[in-house]
A = this chain, B = another copy of it.
Amino acid sequence: MTTDFSQALADIAAAVNAELDRLIPAVKTPEARVVDAMRYAALDGGKRFRPFLVCAGSDMLGVPRASSMRVAAAVEMVHCYSLIHDDLPAMDNDDLRRGRPTVHKHWDEATAILAGDALLTLSFEILAAPATHSDASIRAGVILALAKAAGAAGMVGGQMIDLQATKEADVAALTHLQNLKTGRLIAFSASAGAILAGDAAAEKALAAYGLDLGLAFQITDDILDVEGASADLGKTPGKDAASGKGTFVSRLGVGGAKTLAGQTIERALSHLQPFGAKADLLGQAARFVLTRKS
């Protein structure tokens, strides 16, 4: 049976939206403002690509959705927190995110900082709870892997490098930056199902697939920043080029960047070979990254 990727992506997005709505209930207590901002940020209709990877990898290995959907929601919270903080004036200073005002524009900077902090904290609370998996050592393993992917040696470190990045960064430096900034969290997402299944060999293969997928995603981001239309992107194209930072396109040209993206996706697909036809959806996801318009 072949499942269509875009249908699976939409189905998982709907399911993770419902899970996030349930896991971040609105409150009436005096701290309601930060919870409202968390909900605004988390329930914003993103593509939910990371939850898709968590669920597709988990489904492939027979992990129940009762487990994988909680991990999917947790990783999306981490992704959303990073977007809130990255959008702040002190960082990337973005007014628009997915076609809506960013959290600090809709609320204020303090609320945005706190909403990000609380989403990050909540992600670990959800993973630690017994509902995520009956085996606590599996839960601890998921937390450990997510924390490594999200911390100073991962996503946060990548954003730190990005803020200091210059026009002179070469492809190796850009690759290191993007592996940290987005690659490690995507690698975690792709391999989370294998951690939940307790399958170390699959975890290694799927993390490698995810790291390549994440890199290809960033290369195509750079291409879309030059070629994309504002309506498709939900943000202003040309921003990266205008920032004076090096990108894969500025180093390699559009043609060279497209070649590199294609090679990177081929490498990602090679890591799926051990799973055969069961990895069809993950393979479609990789090909989607090459052809996406937003």
Contact = CB atoms under 8 A, between A and B. Distances in A.
A50 interface: no
A258 interface: no
A144 B118 CA distance: 14
A interface: dominant SS: helix
Interface stretch (A95-103, A160-168, A205-213, A249-257): A160-168
A18 interface: no
Nearest to A132: B140
User: Taking the full assembly, how many copies of this chain does it contain?
Assistant: 2
A117 B114 contact: no
Contacts of A128: 140-141, 143-144, 147
Contacts of A111: 160, 163
Contacts of A27: 152-153
9 contacts: A29-B157, A30-B164, A30-B177, A33-B160, A38-B152, A88-B110, A88-B113, A111-B163, A125-B144
Interface of A: 27, 29-31, 33-35, 38, 81, 85, 88, 90-91, 108-111, 113-114, 116-118, 120-122, 124-125, 127-130, 135-137, 139-141, 143-144, 147-148, 150-153, 156-161, 163-164, 173, 176-177, 180
